[in-house]
Structure 1
């Protein structure tokens, strides 16, 4: 398919390594403009273009739509040409790529930013540092950029972009930013170009196929949105958009009492299970989608922002509550969407401004009020893209200026807060750095202990915290008989050891809504709340059939915790290095050289650091204490190993009671020591010498080794290695590329720590203040953890 002229301009910029800020109307093909150069580069320019693309959307429905479209295109291309592009999706409701391992990944802003901030919503705490390294060196596309929270997500993104855009192109796409905002954004990107469409280009796209342009009449009415107002205007198809799920649910129930038998009524919001959501979206497509016979329709759809973008439908009349101009324009895109159609957009006043604003002086509230005044003066006008831009430039420009001024004024404070979060202090981070409507997974079950095997995989609903607080207060106070009401998930490492591979989960009764900040998952007793396939999550209705459940064992997050087989140290290192070469090294193919150029490091140094990290990551297990524990455990399970053999893994099956009992008994007599930080310290001189005394890269490598089990460890315990540790290490050096072997000086291994080294260990840990060192750490620890997981799987026979 031939690209539009503006898409060709975007392609040329991206393939030249430039970032792009694109402004184009809805339906103009922005997604194709963004992805065409990535796909071309992926297949035809593998040495000079990014190997991974993260396509970030403000809403999961948009990610769902693009994923379905491009997964089908990639499958078709593979069948015809035998060339594979791994297309995946990662959202709260469809977490199919929790580790960001695909080539083209469609994800929501929550998933992206939480990973960047080293607090990924998709993974348990112990894997917190796994995903950040997938971002560096990836081609980043931010769609509907104007919809990102200007007080949380937007500033966090703009904090990240100056460094990330030095490694790979970044694309920001919008239909509704003011000119001031577009120009201001260029200062946050390295080597950026603004691409806009001429009036002739817009007309040509609107009239493709010989159709006449669509027409939408806008009206603002000074009354709240209600069922009677909808029914008075209804003819064949009406779309009603409320700002909150609570409002949408109430209006749906009101309409349900008043509509006639021949009128179909549908409800769609974010609190449906994925299968029901897809079913409802399918019903919408069949009734008012692009291929539907809309002249025969008689349907009223009540929805929230969930339908604002990505749902390809067209209604005759749109009833919408007042929202920021960007959102109103997106909503209008679901009315008279196709060429030749005419439609009506009616905007209603609101008393409450949630979820956009909660305080009287907030920027978005003032912008919404100004938008109302501007629209009220229009008196039923036809809005084309030019008129929509007038609305944005008139109403949103003042807020955009304040946002940019605020970003610049608060840059240091926000940077410090982001860095604090990246180092493990998460308190309040979701609300302040991602968006104020961060959510919690809510499960419904009478006996939630049945879900503890893998609670993050349990089927439930993601509910915004601002809504959940009111729900929890009501659940705690409602007059019902129940053995308990609401519980939160508490998680920690087994035996409180930071490096344990196992997590211990249990439920704690919720006494106060403040406890929502302390957990990612809640469970409510089914006498208090329920779920309906027609209305979604029902916080006010209990005793319904639905209860949360776990998926099959093969699809769970915790599936990596397979039974272990006994494995020697040399065997494990060989397998990890093999896994690194096959799995992790390809992901560094573009990112590592890009970071080396940006940081002015020697060519190939980051790849060398990655080999070093994998080679040396388990040196701490060569301590006398760790080997003593491992051999005692093998003896306790009646599978002894010769004392002279250095072990990396013992045989362990957590489903085997004798293994669990033996582990507890041996650990009571011989505490199993930590090994990650200790191995990092033991190898510090080896790493320093091998990397040519590059301080930032050396610290990044040491930090990656220290944190390949515990993502925020900063300390080190005393250790003493076995006498022949240097000889064992020398035996493993043969498994790295020959060109690197000469740089490994095994004689620099520290076999025993001293008090000064232990006290100074924190100085060897990299921090986000060193932007390139931190980025190198995220790449290295990701490569190491993926290689270690795969290598361990190879050793256990699980792969």
Structure 2
């Protein structure tokens, strides 16, 4: 195991390899023994590869471990940076890494081997509000949790009121099916102990010998009793690499502009960059690439970076001078970890006050609306400030000082918080259960009150097609809401608004589906959407400074700045529309079965975990997944569906048709066909819930209820994760024969029961409160829906003259 670890992380020298710390090997051994862990290690101790190595080792040794890794970080920039730093090593090991974030939805369905994402993305997928895809597809990314290895980096940044209780509920609900590793550098011991107990896991800490290896770096700490200015930055920077971290985007943008003017007036030529979340991915990646080189371990470059919290954790960079706003002690130590990060380096840390003219600028850590004296976050800011003032100027930051600071500032408050969270966890369980059953999850209640929204900047909404993956800027949802509320528009201006739009997603069963844009008529509407389109008259964008919102709409000349561009040949998997070629029912079902069986290797650990839980063999579990794919479309054998499809083929396409079909010829790129298809004369009725209702009696008589229910749920929700209402259905002549032929090789002979009344499947859906039913439903839904999507991708490739490939992610 040690040899493989060393090979993976060769330092670049022909004769030198990086030897793993003992704790890294211990983490791997315990995880491979199916233990869930909480790891406490200081910044710069190699937690990232300690977390990833067990998965790589298990793949190399062909050992049971996990189908995929979902590596979650608190901030988007950290996820992006970690992805960039790790992807080449992972690819060399035959592992497919992907990056999934709200403004970079490259893997919204979690199809990679190692998915780097944010904690928000993970929890949103869990509660049924996935980013980067429509709500109708919510059961696909959720299914990725079954059989996964979930890593939460810097878990101390999870909110005690929203994210942490939801994550604890996830761990409890998915404990038999999912492995967890929680990592932190700055969580108090009582919090770690509580989480270990809840996980039924173990705690791992570095031994003193390991800590001593890290203690050769030297960092001096100074308190500055004033608010940082551009002049302070110019004065304090005397060569080397200066990292400036402030608490708000607007402040970073302002300091950058002021510093640039000061340096120009002084005739000093220093490369200065700004980094924050409100930048297009292309520009942010350019800055991150520059940062990782300019602030690398052995860099001798002179540079200044002004950033926000996006650099607090996960970035493998090292500054000689850190100038930072006051922030909570645990966040401060994360920032300190970016200064003199590596062994034998020396650096200086200066922490600046947030008081100015008798005003406390504690945003975003303390909201303006909170009653300060009663607010824990306010008390944390005061305690951090007091503790820093009490230190001797130039105090050396040691492991002992870090522990003392964390315990002094956070110990009592976090102990109280985690106790309350554990005590009230049954309430969160009820909230999540209701959300899963009703499909009415509230992001603000269950994930993060100040969650992010993706902003597209464009002057013509009708030109913005989400299939082409337009560039997006990320910002806090409530920040956008407060900005829009401050516009002071009259009622008539909102009613005639043509500057702010939100997407309207169509019915997932509509193959002519296209996202359209609707102007909002109230600022509150943005609180319910993940994506917002803003006119350049309101959103001024500069490649260096990023997004700047304008309270007074700009005129045409001023608004001539950059707008969102589209990825070349962009086809986002989350919003992909397919053209179709005629396909008979039997051809379609056999192809889906083939692809599902071919993809079974991607679900080995999920299959094993479910088979153990349901007391089956893995082969029996595979058989059930095969059955679901074989009968998922029985609703298409209804007279209403077949009549409309045959009418389309014979009348509109002018082609003779005698077979029972699964798909007709349809060109999604032809506007005339899209319009014609939407006419009721040709558009088939829904079929998914109808098929499940028709199979319900047979399924109930054939399987235990905990197996029958997820089978039926997967069938009824293979187009929309929240479908539950069915219409009447009468089956075509020959329907039963088609079903039996489609089941070739399976030991089942289902019967279809016509339905003369409409149904609401509330009782069936209510079974989702059972964790085992939920897990199997997500597993079956994911396998079925991805096989269906792959089928259409392959057919589109074939129609375009492309060869079939095993790489579904390309």
Aligned residue in 2 for 1:491: 504
Whole-Å Cα distance in 2 between the matches of residues 599 and 726 of structure 1? Answer: 30
Q: Relative to structure 1, is the Cα distance of residues 289 and 387 closer, same or farther in structure 2, using a 3 angstrom cutoff? A: same
Q: 1:760 to 1:709 in 2, by over 3 A?
A: closer
2:31 equivalent to 1:14: yes
2:698 to 672, 686, 689: 686
1:456-605 aligned within 5 A:
457-475=469-487, 477=489, 486-493=499-506, 499-540=509-550, 542-557=558-573, 560-583=576-599, 585-600=600-615, 604-605=619-620
**Is 1:659 matched with 2:673?**
yes
Output aligned runs, 1:206-245, within 5 Å.
206=215, 213-236=216-239, 237-245=241-249
Matches within 5 A, 1:602-681: 604-643=619-658, 645-665=659-679, 667-668=680-681, 672-681=684-693
What is the aligned partner in structure 1 of residue 258 from structure 2? 254
Aligned: 1:271 with 2:270: no
How far apart in 2 are the matches of 1:793 and 1:342?
54
1:210 aligned partner: none
- SS of equivalent residue, structure 2 residue 606: helix
After superposition, what is the alpha-carbon deviation per residue over 1:120-153, rounded to whole angstroms, capped at 9, x for unaligned? 1111233222100001110111111112223222
Q: Match for residue 769 of structure 2? A: 769
The 3-state SS of whatever aligns with 2:262 is coil
**What's the counterpart of residue 51 of structure 2?**
34
Partner of 2:364: 355
Q: Residues of 2 paired with 1:771 and 1:566: CA distance?
A: 40
2:614 & 2:408 partners in 1: Cα distance? 42
**Aligned counterpart for 1:89 among listed residues 72, 76, 99:** 99
Do the aligned partners of residues 731 and 285 (structure 1) sit closer, same or farther apart at CA in structure 2, a change above 3 Å counting?
closer
For 1:433-468, what per-residue CA distance to the aligned partner results, in whole angstroms no more than 9, with x for missing partners?
Answer: 22223111212222121003637x211211111321
1:99/1:130 contact within 8 Å kept: yes
Q: Aligned partners of 1:795, 1:234: CA distance in 2, in Å?
A: 59
Contact 1:593 1:604 in 2 (8 A): no
Are residues 405 and 486 of structure 1, via their aligned partners in 2, closer, same or farther at CA, if it must alter by over 3 Å? farther
Contact 2:23 2:204 survives alignment (8 Å): yes
Is 1:365 aligned with 2:409?
no
Equivalent in 725, 733, 737 of residue 715 of structure 1: 725
Q: Distance in 1 between matches of 2:255 and 2:580?
A: 55
**Contact 1:636–1:662 (8 Å) recurs in 2:** no
Q: Establish whether residue 55 from structure 1 lines up as the match of residue 71 from structure 2.
A: yes
2:393 matched to 1:415? no
- For the 8 Å contact 1:451–1:549, the answer to whether it is kept is no
SS at match of 2:667: coil
**151, 156, 166: which one pairs with 1:141?**
151
Helix, strand or coil at the partner of 1:140: strand
CA distance in 1, matches of 2:179, 2:439: 30
Cα deviation code 1:309-346 (max 9, x no counterpart):
23333223222122122110010111222222332222
**Pair 1:467–1:694, CA change in 2 (3 A):** same
How far 1:173 moved relative to its partner?
0.8
For the residues of structure 1 that align with 2:570 and 2:539, how far apart are their CA atoms?
Answer: 30
With structure 2 as the length reference, what TM-score do the two structures score?
0.89
Match of 1:81 in 2: none
Give the alignment of 1:96-111 within 5 angstroms: 96-111=106-121
Q: Which residue is equivalent to 2:715?
A: 705
d(CA) in 2 for partners of 1:708, 1:94? 26
Q: 1:407 to 1:588 in 2, by over 3 A?
A: same
Alignment equivalent of 1:202, drawn from 190, 199, 211: 211
What 5-or-longer segments of structure 1 have no aligned partner?
A: 78-83, 207-212
Q: Give the deviation of 1:630 after TM superposition.
A: 1.1
| Closer/same/farther in 2, CA of residues 273 and 761 from structure 1, 3 Å limit | closer
- For residues 391 and 364 of structure 1, the distance between their equivalents in structure 2, rounded to whole angstroms, comes to 16
- Paired residue for 1:341? 345
In 1, are the aligned partners of 2:644 and 2:683 still within 8 Å (CA)?
A: yes
Structure 2 contact 578–792 (Cα < 8 Å) conserved = no
Cα distance in 1 for residues equivalent to 2:466 and 2:80: 28
Asked if residue 330 in structure 1 is aligned to residue 345 in structure 2, the reply is no
1:55 CA drift (Å): 0.9
Q: Distance in 2 between matches of 1:396 and 1:710?
A: 44
Does the 8 A contact of 2:502 with 2:519 survive in 1? Answer: no
**Deviations 1:714-773 (CA, angstroms, capped at 9, x unpaired):** 222111111321111111111xxx3xx22x123x321x1254xx5463322354311110
The answer to whether the 8 A contact 1:676-1:706 is kept is: yes
Matched, 1:45 2:62: yes
Structure 2 gaps of 5+ residues are: 1-5, 7-18, 355-359, 805-810
Task: Indicate the RMSD between aligned Cα atoms, in angstroms.
Answer: 2.4
TM-superposed CA distance for 1:176, in Å, is 0.6
Partner of 1:683, secondary structure, is helix
3-state SS of the aligned residue for 2:289? helix
**Residue in structure 2 matched with residue 119 of structure 1 by the alignment:** 129
Q: Cα–Cα, structure 1 residues 223 and 703, in superposed 2: closer, same or farther, change >3 Å?
A: same
Matched, 1:320 2:324: yes
SS of residue paired to 1:467:
helix
Cα deviation, residue 705, structure 1: 0.5
1:727-742 counterparts in 2 under 5 A? Answer: 727-734=737-744, 738=745, 741-742=746-747
Alignment of 1:158 onto 2:168: yes
| Larger deviation, residues 172-181 vs 758-767 | 758-767
Q: Judge which range, 13-22 or 381-390, deviates more.
A: 381-390
Structure 2 CA distance for aligned equivalents of residues 659 and 234 of structure 1 = 64
Measured after TM superposition, the shift of residue 526 of structure 1 is: 1.5
CA deviations over 1:6-25 (Å, ceiling 9, x no partner): 11111110111111111111
CA contact (8 A) 2:505 2:516 kept: no
> Following the alignment from structure 1 to structure 2, what is the Cα–Cα distance between the partners of residues 767 and 369?
48
Contact 1:316 1:335 in 2 (8 A): yes
CA distance in 1, matches of 2:733, 2:161: 57
- Distance verdict in 2 for CA 1:641–1:385, change over 3 Å: farther
2:88 and 2:674 mapped to 1: Cα distance? 46
TM-score, normalising length from structure 1?
0.90
Report the alpha carbon displacement of residue 101 of structure 1 after superposing the two structures with TM: 0.7
439, 449, 456: which one aligns with 1:436: 449
1:107 CA displacement: 1.1
CA displacement, residues 472-512 of structure 1 (integer Å, 9 cap, x when unaligned): 2345659xx9995532223132xxx5632343433332332
Q: CA deviation at 1:777?
A: 0.8
For the residues of structure 1 that align with 2:656 and 2:597, how far apart are their CA atoms? Answer: 30
Map 1:775-794 → 2, pairs under 5 A: 775-794=775-794
2:649/2:665 contact within 8 Å kept: yes
- On the 8 A contact 2:512/2:577 being kept in 1, the answer is yes
* Deviation at residue 639 of structure 1 after TM alignment: 3.5
Q: Could you give the per-residue CA deviations for residues 386-441 of structure 1, whole angstroms, max 9, x where no partner exists?
A: 211111122212222222122123322222222233345446x2222222231112
Partner of 2:315: 311
Check the 8 A contact 1:485/1:524 in 2, yes or no: no
Change (3 A) 1:115 1:704: same
- Give 3-state SS (helix, strand or coil) of 1:167's partner: coil
Structure 2 CA distance for aligned equivalents of residues 768 and 700 of structure 1: 9
SS at the partner of 2:443? helix
Once the two structures are TM-superposed, the CA of residue 604 in structure 1 deviates from its matched residue by: 4.2
CA distance in 2, matches of 1:244, 1:150: 22
The whole-number CA distance in structure 1 between the counterparts of 2:466 and 2:322 is: 46
